[in-house]
Amino acid sequence: MSRFVYADNAATTPITEPVLRAMMPYLTECYGNPSSMYSKGREAKRALELARESIAEWIGARPGELYFTAGGSESDNWALKGIARELALQGKKHLITTCFEHHAVLHAAQALEREGFSVTYLPVHENGLVRPEEVANAIREDTALVSVMYANNEIGTIQPIAEIGAICRERGVIFHTDAVQAVGTLPIDVAEQNIDLLSLSGHKLHAPKGIGALYVRRGITIQNLVDGGAQERGRRAGTENIAAIVGLAAALRDACSTMKERAERLCALRDRLIEGALQIPGSSLNGDAQHRLPGNVNLCLEGVDGEAMLLLLDRQGICASSGSACTAGSLEASHVLLAIGIPPELAKSSLRLTLGDQNTEEDVEYILSVLPAVIERLRTS
């Protein structure tokens, strides 16, 4: 019994039929440039603004607070660099983030350190959670920005961002969250959760790759990352990717309008997969079992090489990951697993399976039928 099971939805997701259908007119006959005066341009402009209104509404923002970007990485870079460089003008040159952020945040923070900023990297506890009181204790007179992700892309843990946001608001510090893994899966209301900036990306929620957005709360000044034309109210230059933006709006609508049912279904699949996988001797779950993204399973399998495991699973038609996709291919242990205190050797035996809307109970049973033999084989080889 051989199947194809895509269980790497935290790395990327396929575009769905309805999203593709929504995009098609903007890849074909509606090719106008939204900055043009004639009707073909205005038609594109209208689609752009309708998409902006719709996306803003799903996260509790105003359309004027949303800027389209080329994805999560650009949004994260813009948030950190744009705010840090602006507030440096007021002498605020300190940032706070955590050790287990996505590399788009971590490497942007390191780039700022090379520009003379100082950065506090907060620890993450063994359950994969950041403690709000530690954020409060790290805030200084010269702190410009706090950046804590909403949900971790490797171990799926969900952070107490509303509490962290409240602390930042009270202390007059700007709060950014990388919500790439959360948008469309967890409820978001930027006003209620005291979020000043939020990054999102299309391809993690069935929209195309290369489209994302940054929410910037009204009244916050951020320096541009990309200079050029007057698109995005002069804040982010470049002819807008209308088809992808329309796709993002359609994908977000589909995800948000079915959030509860999808989460329930995925939690059940996830818990069945965790329960089955933990029957394997020498296996352990990474990250809190409760405060966890619906589709996320992340395990360590003692004595097994993570990369070899992925190759054998691939031969059985299973797409999974070990560490994050961005570090796969390099021999380093995942910085996220190290951050939660997993020893380097054990961290190299990790397996991340992330389930999505297209996965079924049969997929989970298939993974559970294949996994023990794969691990047994690697342990005895």
212 binds ligand PLP (CB under 6 A): yes
Sign for the pseudo-dihedral over CA of 123, 127, 132, 133: negative
Neighbour tally for 37: CB within 10 Å: 9
Catalytic position from the list 99, 267, 319, 326 = 326
Sign for the pseudo-dihedral over CA of 305, 310, 313, 314: negative
Contact 327, 147 (CB under 8 A): no
- Number of chain positions touching ligand PLP (CB under 6 A): 15
Cβ 145 to ligand PLP shortest distance, Å: 16
Question: Residue 316: which of 371, 362, 269 has the closest Cα?
Answer: 371
Question: Residue 347: which of 339, 362, 337, 359 has the closest Cα?
Answer: 337
Nearer to ligand PLP, 85 or 102 (CB): 102
Cα separation of 307 and 330, whole Å? 10
Contact 152, 179 (CB under 8 A): no
Torsion, Cα 231 233 235 238, to 10 degrees, reads: 0
Contact 316, 363 (CB under 8 A): no
Cα separation of 356 and 13, whole Å? 8
Specify the DSSP class assigned to residue 14: P
The interface region with ligand PLP, picked from 58-66, 67-75, 128-136, 252-260 by CB under 6 A, is 67-75
Nearer to ligand PLP, 76 or 254 (CB): 76
Is residue 295 classed as helix, strand or coil in its secondary structure? coil
Cβ 260 to ligand PLP shortest distance, Å: 22
Which one of 26, 61, 66, 72 is in contact with ligand PLP (CB under 6 A)? 72
157 binds ligand PLP (CB under 6 A): no
The interface region with ligand PLP, picked from 14-22, 29-37, 178-186, 257-265 by CB under 6 A, is 178-186
The interface region with ligand PLP, picked from 66-74, 162-170, 254-262, 279-287 by CB under 6 A, is 66-74
Cα separation of 199 and 216, whole Å? 9
- In the residue annotation, 326 being an active-site residue is answered as yes
Cβ 265 to ligand PLP shortest distance, Å: 21
178 binds ligand PLP (CB under 6 A): yes
Cβ 149 to ligand PLP shortest distance, Å: 6
Indicate the residue whose CB is closest to ligand PLP: 72
Nearer to ligand PLP, 72 or 132 (CB): 72
Which one of 47, 66, 95, 104 is in contact with ligand PLP (CB under 6 A)? 104
Which string of x and - marks every residue 9-48 that binds ligand PLP (by CB under 6 A)?
----------------------------------------
Cβ 224 to ligand PLP shortest distance, Å: 19
204 binds ligand PLP (CB under 6 A): yes
Which tokens in the block code for residue 282?
């020498």
Nearer to ligand PLP, 108 or 378 (CB): 108
Nearer to ligand PLP, 209 or 379 (CB): 209
Nearer to ligand PLP, 198 or 300 (CB): 198
Cα separation of 219 and 225, whole Å? 18
Please report the DSSP string for 160-223 in residue order.
-HHHHHHHHHHHT-EEEEE-TTTBTTB---TTTTT-SEEEEESTTTTS-TT-EEEEE-TT----
Residue numbers annotated as active site? 326
Binding site for ligand PLP (CB under 6 A): 71-73, 76, 102, 104, 149, 153, 178, 180-181, 201, 203-204, 212
